[in-house]
Amino acid sequence: MEKYRGVKFEMVEEQFPIDKKDRLKFLAVDKVLKKFLKTKKNEGNLSIKTKNGFLIKRAGGQMTKLTKNDVILVRKISGRKVFCSGGMPSSESRMHYEIYKNTPAAKIILHFHRDELLGKLPLARVGPFSYGSTALAKAAGRVSKKYSLFEILRHGFVIVGKSKNEIFEVLKTIC
Ligand SMILES: [Zn+2]
C-alpha cells in the first residue's frame, strides 16, 4: 500500500468549540473498537456526525488509543479546502464528508485496515485509489448510497452506520 505522506488537502483553521458530550461519545466509541481492531500506527479513522459538521480523528492519531486532543471538528469542505477546528483532521476527511453528503442517514463512519481480509469478503468494492484522493472520496460517497459496508481495493474497509451499535454489529460479523 501507498506510504503515508500526510494529508492531501488544504486546512482552513477555525475556532469553533467542540461540544464536550460529542467528544466523550467519540472517545467512548474509540475505546470499544479496541475489542475488534489491533492498530499499529495511524491507519484507519472514525467520524461521528454532529449538528455543525462531524468529529473525526486527528491526522496521525492512533485508533483505539485516542485522547481528547485527537478529536477534530470538520465543519465543511469546499473542493480541497477543509474548514476545521482543534487541529489537523484525518487525511480521509474528504471521504467522510462525501459519504455524509450522499447518505444523509449516515451518522457514524469507520474506516479500518485488516490486510488479511482484503479481497476475501463478498463486498462491494471501489478503487484502487490513492489515499486521501478526490477519486476515493467521490467513489465512497456514491457506493455508500447502496452499501453500508464496502472495501477499498488493496487498502481497507468502510462501515457506514446510523448508530454506533450498527458499526459494532458489522465488526462482530467480519472480525
Ligand atoms: Zn486507510
> In 3-state terms, what secondary structure has residue 102?
helix
Pairing of strands 45-50, 108-112: antiparallel
d(Cα 134, Cα 80) in Å, to the nearest integer? Answer: 8
Ligand 1 centre to CA of 41 (Å) is 11
| Residue linked to cell 478503487 | 127
Q: Which stretches does DSSP call E strand in 2-91?
A: 10-13, 45-50, 53-57, 71-78, 81-85
Question: What's residue 1's pLDDT?
Answer: 73
Question: What's residue 113's pLDDT?
Answer: 96
Sign of CA dihedral 13, 164, 107, 135: positive
User: Which residues have C-beta within 8 Å of that of residue 18, sequence separation ≥ 6?
Assistant: 55, 71, 73, 85, 86
Ligand 1 centre to CA of 95 (Å) is 11
Mean pLDDT by groups of 10 residues along the chain of 175 residues:
89 97 98 97 96 97 98 97 98 98 98 96 97 97 98 97 98 93
Interior CA angle at 169 toward 168 and 172, to 5°?
85
Question: What's residue 2's pLDDT?
Answer: 84
For 127, left (φ over 0), alpha (ψ -120 to 50), or beta? left
Ligand 1 centre to CA of 159 (Å) is 12
Question: What's residue 29's pLDDT?
Answer: 98
Ligand 1 centre to CA of 124 (Å) is 17
Question: What's residue 154's pLDDT?
Answer: 96
Query: Which of 11, 150, 30 has the alpha carbon at shortest distance from 84?
Result: 11
d(Cα 79, Cα 107) in Å, to the nearest integer? Answer: 22
Ligand 1 centre to CA of 157 (Å) is 8
Which residues are within 5 Å of ligand 1 (an ion), measured at CB?
A: 156
